[in-house]
Amino acid sequence: MRKRYVVGSLFFLLCLICSSASSFAQIRVGISVGFGPPALPVYEQPICPADGYIWTPGYWDWDGDDYFWVPGTWVEAPEVGFLWTPGWWGWGGSAFVFHEGFWGPHVGWYGGINYGFGYFGHGYEGGRWDGGHFFYNTTINRVNVTEIHNVYNTRVENVNINNHVSYNGGTGGINARASAEEERYSSEQHVGAVAAQTQHVEAARGNRELRASVNQGKPSIAATQRPGAFNDRAAVTPAKEAGGRYEPPANRGAEAARGNAGNAAAAGGAGSRPVHPSDLPAAERPAAPNTGNPKLDQKYQQQQQKLYAKQDQERQKLQQQQDKEHQKLTKQNANEGAKQQVEQRHAQQTQQLQQRHQQQQQQMQQRQAPARSSGGGGRHP
């Protein structure tokens, strides 16, 4: 499972990195402030925009200074049969840890958090795949049944209906543990958020109204009908109420500054996640295309070579940019605080570049997959 760590100490970060190395870990350096996210707000789900879209619940994210709300939204599944496992916050003993959500054939562990709309803490009750189509449980999801006919009606009891706690463990957190099956599902092969979801998060990050310090746990955009559609007021759902009183520590800014320093130091330490493009491992090249059609194989190989050449250029360009910033800091004789802030930003830039490149590679492989499997043509069902 990919994990983003909100770190309290260098030792804690290094331990987490070691423990996550064998579980598809994707570490994103964060900033520790010593307090968990606000409670989940109360809101209604927008109506499903089209067949094949799956609900991804809203959650609180962290931008280095404040929590911000990422609105729930409908997302088209990246592959037939794939379901969404939401990300979740958990207390790790010294800091809060964010486990990234992912797409896969099963819904794995998401911290026992009651996100609602079928994600009641364990599994998913909002729908299921059958015969290449996603069937919606209309007792949970808002679906226009005159347009979408693959539906069913099964009532499910939400025993945690009034529990809006947004993190697992720690003081006041959800007291739940993953089952053996959920752990197995979380460890199986899966893919991360699609590009539309990543763009959705970035749009939320840049919207001041979604910051917890501004909305006090009651965001004006709690959910959207499609990713990033914040300005379509007809398809936006505001929060009815905050899930609980939001009381960040009085010294939130000071704690954020301390966390920033600790993370930046950790980012450059031995065994830490890549901080600069030069720290990234070489991109894995897929096997040579073998569809049985030599011309198609040559075409696919050229597409692969073109993509990897472009990605190599982007790596070099970002590395050169970061090298210039290092040189500038040296000339200015910058203090440690300034250096740490730059390293933090470099780590985020590198992680974003790596994520984008992985998504591009996955998309290319998905486009080529139908022809690979059928020997020269066809499309996904």
pLDDT tens, residue by residue, 187-200: 888 899 999 999 99
Grade residue 347 by pLDDT with cuts at 50, 70 and 90. Answer: confident
**Which residue would you say has higher pLDDT here, 123 or 339?**
123
Residue 32 CA to residue 96 CA, distance in Å, equals 8
Pairing of strands 133-137, 151-152: parallel
pTM, rounded to two decimals? 0.63
Grade residue 329 by pLDDT with cuts at 50, 70 and 90. Answer: confident
Phi, psi of 167 (to 5 degrees): -145, 160
* Nearest CA among 10, 251, 197, 169 for reference residue 85: 197
**Which residue would you say has higher pLDDT here, 238 or 266?**
238
Distances (CA, A) of 184 to 13, 92, 181, 355: 24, 20, 5, 24
pLDDT at 63: 83
Q: What is the mean pLDDT of the chain?
A: 79
Q: Is 370 exposed, middle or buried (0-12, 13-18, 19+ CB in 10 A)?
A: middle
Residue 306 CA to residue 284 CA, distance in Å, equals 15
Enter the tokens of residue 20.
Answer: 């996550």
348, 350, 355, 360: CA torsion to nearest 10: 140
Phi, psi of 171 (to 5 degrees): -65, 120
Residue 214 CA to residue 161 CA, distance in Å, equals 26
Distances (CA, A) of 229 to 78, 226, 297, 344: 19, 6, 39, 30
Does residue 123 surpass a pLDDT of 80? yes
**Beta carbons within 8 Å of 75's beta carbon, 6+ residues apart:** 53, 54, 56, 84, 194, 196, 197, 227
Does residue 305 surpass a pLDDT of 50? yes
**Which residue would you say has higher pLDDT here, 373 or 307?**
307
**Beta carbons within 8 Å of 305's beta carbon, 6+ residues apart:** none
Residue 255 CA to residue 261 CA, distance in Å, equals 10
Give the pLDDT mean for 34-48. 91
Give the pLDDT mean for 209-229. 95
pLDDT at 25: 35
**Lowest mean pLDDT segment, chosen from 44-48, 176-180, 187-191, 258-262:** 258-262
pLDDT tens, residue by residue, 137-182: 999 999 999 999 999 999 887 766 778 999 998 888 999 999 999 9
**Which residue would you say has higher pLDDT here, 290 or 16?**
290
Does residue 20 surpass a pLDDT of 50? no
pLDDT at 275: 65
Does residue 70 surpass a pLDDT of 90? yes
Residue 125 CA to residue 127 CA, distance in Å, equals 6
Grade residue 218 by pLDDT with cuts at 50, 70 and 90. Answer: very high
- Percent of the chain exceeding pLDDT 70 equals 76
Greatest mean pLDDT among 15-29, 151-165, 209-223 = 209-223
pLDDT at 265: 38
Q: Is 258 exposed, middle or buried (0-12, 13-18, 19+ CB in 10 A)?
A: middle
pLDDT at 340: 67
pLDDT at 120: 94
pLDDT at 249: 65
pLDDT at 263: 44
